[in-house]
Structure 1
Amino acid sequence: MHARAVAASTTALAGVVVLLLPLSPARAAESARAAEGTGGAAAAPVIVAHRGASGYAPENTLAAVDKAAALGTEWVENDVQRTKDGELVVLHDDSLVRTTDVEEVFPDRAPWKVKDFTAAEIARLDAGNWFGPEYAGARVPTLEQFVHRVDRHRQKLLLEIKNPQLYPGIERDILKVLADEGWLDRRHVRQRLIVQSFSADSVRTVHELAPAVKTGFLGTPPVADLPAYAAFTDQINPSHGSLTADYVSAVHALKGAHGKRLEAFTWTVNDAAAARRVAGFGVDGIITNNPDVVRDAVGC
């Protein structure tokens, strides 16, 4: 990042204060329901729309957020990358090829990596037509645009930091945007926001920069290593194919970085049988492209 951007990020983070005023009765009730839904003795796991409701709309687009909302899904997952000029955009791959028309718009710019394009150039790309003609013209949203849409639907966000090794300092950049957009106030960090990554270093960095933010590690660390992860994360989020009931029990036996029971959200579960299987293991959340299918299977 440029020195000016780093300085701005540091200033913004220094000014972030989690509010300490008492909650109103309505907010207190909402907080209790949220705590019940993301840990403790929940009757059914939380359902998270993976990249939005990506089984029904182009992944990581605002249309996928809208579809998740239409299906009644509270939690939405997304992926964040950084452009050449430092803008944060919501895209799963570090390449633009799979989910946009970048090869047609910029035929001479191979290998079409996100980090090699400006935000203005990426804003020109069609990110919907590959999924279906009804989504032609959908764009790659910026992180600001994405959180605005999530806020509009009063949804909650599971934000994944993608490829942090490609974008040094991206954790600070993400936290600055979240702070600027009001997502680091007490209500958001307690009830509506989780930041996760496959990189333990990235998760640890988020915890150090913004200790109030709930975090998750994507993967299945050996049981013997779980206490070390619990020092800086609140969730261990394995793929459903690697999961067993014993592993979930081992996760739940520990307290995470905020002193509450360590949670397990599993991914990516798209059919009813797999949803019932992992729910039987006692997972706290299920990340899915098809939130309606999972909801109907596990009875939430």
Structure 2
Amino acid sequence: MHARAVAATAVAILAAVTLLSPSSPARAGETGDATVIAHRGASAYAPENTLASIDKAAQLGFTWVENDVQRTKDGRLVVIHDDSLARTTNVEDVFPGRAPWKVKDFTAAEIARLDAGSWYSPAYAGTRVPTLEQYMRRVEHNHERLLLEIKNPELYPGIEQQTLKLLGNEGWLDQRHLGRLVVQSFSADSVRTVHELKPALTTAFLGKPPVAQLHAYARFADLVNPSYGSISAGYVSSVHAVTGPHGRRLGVFAWTVDDKVAAWQVVGYGVDGIITNKPDVVRAALRAN
């Protein structure tokens, strides 16, 4: 048992180191140039932020998936991008008198009644909005890694603590899983809170801080994840020149890259990861580059 524990710890440490290393060897669904992260799952091929979408990513051979977490009226965490249910479910048909159909105004049981697949394709009719528990168990089943975004934290006071509690209950805050998980947000305060609550966890800020402020962000964030159109080789180099809270250089994951030209561009800038709705397209482009 001791040998197994030592081996598990070694694997976790190696995963944490290779996550941010630009020279990491290629892994499943990745290339030697950059980690490829399936945005909201393989969302070009299945309804976003659903179990079907992360299953599709796994079928395509991708290790990393990204999702968005929000909170229901009765305090359950669910995986959905918008603060409204209208775009990706049939909530307007099921609950016609409850506009603007905000996630925070519906219970988990009500959301569980909604069809989150038909808007994308009839083939996905009946697909549901997953709870975060359901989602984490499927990620574990698929042997995937997760870039988890705390969405709209200003709407959900305490969501950072709640998310970490759930992750801990699901076994995702032990040494074996820490190298498979990154928590990010557009809110610097939210990222800082996560870092303070769980310092060992890898965290990321979504956005492009001014170069002069990178050292301040590096106190609580391991990665800076900007939109790909907002960056340059110079900016990426400036990020890489700063050391983050775990003694490693800051990393950069760029979003949302869905074509080969943009993939080549950001790899040329030196990014560490590419967040994409079409992970297979990005993988093919990088292998051909």
TM-score, scaled relative to structure 1: 0.90
Secondary structure class of the residue paired with 1:277? helix
1:61 has 2:50 as partner = yes
User: What secondary structure is seen at the aligned counterpart in 2 of 1:205?
Assistant: helix
Letter in 2 for 1:226: L
Partner of residue 20, structure 2: 38
Deviation at 1:112, TM superposition (A): 0.3
Cα drift, residue 24 of structure 1 = 3.7
Matches within 5 A, 1:158-237: 158-189=147-178, 191-237=179-225
Q: Does 1:248 align with 2:230?
A: no
Q: Quickly say closer, same or farther: Cα 1:132–1:199, change in 2 above 3 A.
A: same
Indicate the RMSD between aligned Cα atoms, in angstroms: 1.7
Shift of 1:243: 1.1
Alpha-carbon distance change, 21 to 240 in structure 1, aligned in 2, over 3 angstroms: farther
Aligned residues: 280
Structure 2-normalised TM-score? 0.93
* 1:120 and 2:120 correspond: no
Q: Distance in 1 between matches of 2:7 and 2:106?
A: 48
Of 277, 286, 291 in structure 1, the residue corresponding to residue 274 of structure 2 is: 286
Instruction: Provide, for residues 176-214 of structure 1, a one-character-per-residue CA deviation record: whole Å limited to 9, x for no partner.
Output: 10000000001111x100000000000000001111110
Matching of residues 249-264 of structure 1 within 5 Å: 249-264=237-252
Mapped to 1, the partners of 2:7 and 2:67 lie a distance apart of 31
Separation in 2, partners of 1:283, 1:25: 30
The answer to whether the Cα contact below 8 Å between 1:244 and 1:281 also exists between their aligned partners in 2 is yes
What is the aligned partner in structure 2 of residue 47 from structure 1?
Answer: 36
Partner of 1:295: 283
In structure 2, what residue type is equivalent to 1:214?
T
* Amino acid paired to 1:261: R
Contact 2:15/2:180 (<8 A) preserved: no
Q: CA deviation at 1:159?
A: 0.1
* Map of 2:71 onto structure 1: 82
Q: Contact 2:8–2:176 at 8 Å: present in 1 too? A: no
Displacement after TM superposition at 1:259 (Å): 1.0
The 1:26–1:196 alpha-carbon spacing in structure 2 relative to 1, beyond 3 Å, is closer
The 2-side partners of 1:85 and 1:268 are apart by 32
What's the offset of the Cα at 1:27? 5.9
Deviations 1:34-80 (A, max 9, x none): 63343242331000000000000000000000000001000000000
Q: Does 2:118 align with 1:136?
A: no
SS of 2:221's partner is: coil
One-letter amino acid of the structure 1 residue matched with residue 204 of structure 2:
G
Percent identity between the two aligned chains = 65
Is the Cα–Cα contact under 8 Å of residues 37 and 45 in structure 1 kept in the other structure? no
Query: Per-residue displacement from partner, 1:131-184 (whole Å, max 9, x unpaired)?
Result: 000000000000000010000010000000000000000000100100000000
- Give the counterpart of 2:83 among 68, 84, 94: 94
